[in-house]
Amino acid sequence: MKPTRIRLIIGMMTAALIGIICMQIYWISWNIRLNEEQFDKNVYEILNRVADKIQYYEDVATLEVLKASFKSSPNFNRNLRRQSQSFDIGEAMRKVVRADSLPESSADFSRSFEDRMIEWEYMKVSQLVHSRPLAERVPLDLLDQALREELRSRGIDAPYQYGVYSKARNSFVIMNNHYVVIDNTPLITAKGINSLYNSPYRVALFPKDVESPGYLAIYFPDRTRLVLGSVWGSLILSVIFTGIILFSFWYTIQVIYRQKKLSEMKTDFINNMTHEFKTPIATISLAIDNILSPMVIREPERIKRFAEIIRQENRRMNNQVERVLQIAQLERNEIQLRVAEVNLHTLIRQAAENFSLQMERREGTLKLDLQSKKPIVKGDATHLANVIHNLLDNANKYSPERPDITIRTRDLPNGSVSFTVEDKGIGISKEARKYIFDKFYRVHTGNLHDVKGFGLGLSYVKAIVEAHRGTVEVRSEVGKGSAFTVVLPSA
């Protein structure tokens, strides 16, 4: 697939995903706002009903006092004034609440009096009642009971704080079923007072007065939880599903680019393999043509020389095919390791000796720093030798000038043994280090065009080392070289 088409598809998927997320955010925000409005509406209705009840009970209680004074004394006016100045409005209101039946309103109750002059006297008594401090006009138990009943009827079951604010005292006089006393406020905290001061939920008390003496306020510490309560489930599900979509989208993009990179690496592998096979085939073909030549066929020495070339090129092709087959066997877990006690120092010395010819040809150096005192490991000698050879081959190929290679062995505190193949070549970038152990991957070498291979060497190294329950790591810096460290458990 062309890169332009891939980018177009990713752009369309990104736009669609952003649109879906924006729609989800919009609908969730709208639902939350709707819940907030409904919650605010319920709270104001609760406060208004509680304020109406307090007003209603005071009005009816005042009429009860008027009625009792009218019936109990012939000197109505003097007895009324005396009782209206001394009666307990709170107790009178409680009697009203405990009554079996109440009139619909104070106006209806007043009309039940035969003497209409009681209405005028009622106005005078009401003025005396209204002049009392706000705290005396609001019974604690009736206020607390009314609030609890109204909250329960609206289905609001959450902690709350409430208070009655007096304009005359310029402070709260009742908070949370307690009177606020200036010199003794152990139950009232500054935090609670501030919360009530700043609460938007408040309604005026006794609005029938010429001027309302104060207001009733309520505060919900868990208001956010209450508002989100009904949308919490859908919110969590939306976040989970959106996260799954985002992860799937990210993973899909990763797979697309990984497959694209793998396709490119396989194409490079096929090209490299074609080149690697084409050269020995051409050499073999040329050698056979020379052998069949009438001038050469009579010279056994030249025939022997061309036959040796054919054998070397055939071995080279066989080694390349064998490497590809070994990788395939490793992928299918079909490779069988012939485990025995192996001396790493012996394998390293043999590999260095076999590699010395290439070092001489390029005027390079290969140094051994074998300091391990326990170099014996359990493993397959052939495959471990191939691991060392592959690392040396890479160190040589990626050293543009005279190679300077060092092999070190060390004993580790955990009982393992490590060997490191270090070079001073072109190095590997940080980005390339993520992929060097992948199949078919080859580090880009810029202007270094003579680096050939299938990109299978380091993949083979990692697979063999892990089959021996070991690890392989790389340290590298561009322009300063690389160091591959293999750690194997000791025997």
**Alpha-carbon radius of gyration of the chain:** 48
Residue 443 pLDDT: 65
- CATH assignment of the domain containing 269: 1.10.287.130
Say if residue 145 is exposed, middle or buried (CB neighbours under 10 Å; 0-12, 13-18, 19+). Answer: middle
Whether residues 326 and 352 share a domain: the answer is no
Instruction: Please name which of 315, 310, 317 lies closest in space to residue 302, comparing C-alpha atoms.
Output: 310
Residue after which a domain boundary falls, among 185, 213, 228 = 228
Say which residues have a Cβ less than 8 Å from residue 454's Cβ, sequence separation at least 6.
269, 272, 273, 276, 320, 323, 324, 440
Whether residues 374 and 465 share a domain: the answer is yes
Beta bridge partners of 47: none
Residue after which a domain boundary falls, among 228, 262, 296 = 228
H/E run at residue 405: strand 404-411
Answer yes or no: is pLDDT of 97 > 80: no
CA distances from 420 to 368, 384, 468, 481 (A): 10, 13, 17, 13
Whether residues 317 and 360 share a domain: the answer is no
Answer yes or no: is pLDDT of 147 > 50: yes
Distance between CA atoms of residues 323 and 456, nearest Å: 8
Residue 406 pLDDT: 94
- CATH assignment of the domain containing 361: 3.30.565.10
Whether residues 143 and 266 share a domain: the answer is no
Answer yes or no: is pLDDT of 93 > 80: no
Whether residues 293 and 366 share a domain: the answer is no
Whether residues 163 and 246 share a domain: the answer is no
Residue 107 pLDDT: 45
Between residues 283 and 410, the one the model is more confident about: 410
Whether residues 290 and 174 share a domain: the answer is no
pTM for this one? 0.47
pLDDT digits (tens, 9 = 90+) for 18-39: 888 888 888 888 888 888 888 8
pLDDT digits (tens, 9 = 90+) for 174-195: 888 888 875 444 444 445 577 8
* 128, amino acid identity: L
Say if residue 220 is exposed, middle or buried (CB neighbours under 10 Å; 0-12, 13-18, 19+). Answer: buried
Cα 109 vs. chain centroid, distance in angstroms?
A: 66
pLDDT digits (tens, 9 = 90+) for 272-282: 677 667 767 88
Instruction: Please name which of 155, 164, 158 lies closest in space to residue 220, comparing C-alpha atoms.
Output: 158
Using pLDDT thresholds of 50, 70 and 90, give the confidence band for residue 128.
low
Number of structural domains found in the chain: 3
Whether residues 63 and 109 share a domain: the answer is yes
Whether residues 353 and 270 share a domain: the answer is no
Whether residues 46 and 178 share a domain: the answer is yes
Residue 410 pLDDT: 94
Q: Which of 6-15, 323-332, 386-395 has the highest mean pLDDT?
A: 386-395
For the segment 331-356, the average pLDDT, to the nearest whole number, is 83
Residue after which a domain boundary falls, among 331, 351, 370 = 331
Domain that includes residue 129, residue range:
3-228
Instruction: Please name which of 433, 437, 410, 436 lies closest in space to residue 421, comparing C-alpha atoms.
Output: 410
Residue 65 pLDDT: 66
Residue 129 pLDDT: 64
Distance between CA atoms of residues 186 and 96, nearest Å: 33
Say which residues have a Cβ less than 8 Å from residue 68's Cβ, sequence separation at least 6.
83
Percent of the chain with pLDDT over 70: 75
Whether residues 149 and 95 share a domain: the answer is yes
Whether residues 463 and 388 share a domain: the answer is yes
140-153 vs 89-98: helix crossing angle, rounded to 10? 40
Answer yes or no: is pLDDT of 230 > 90: no
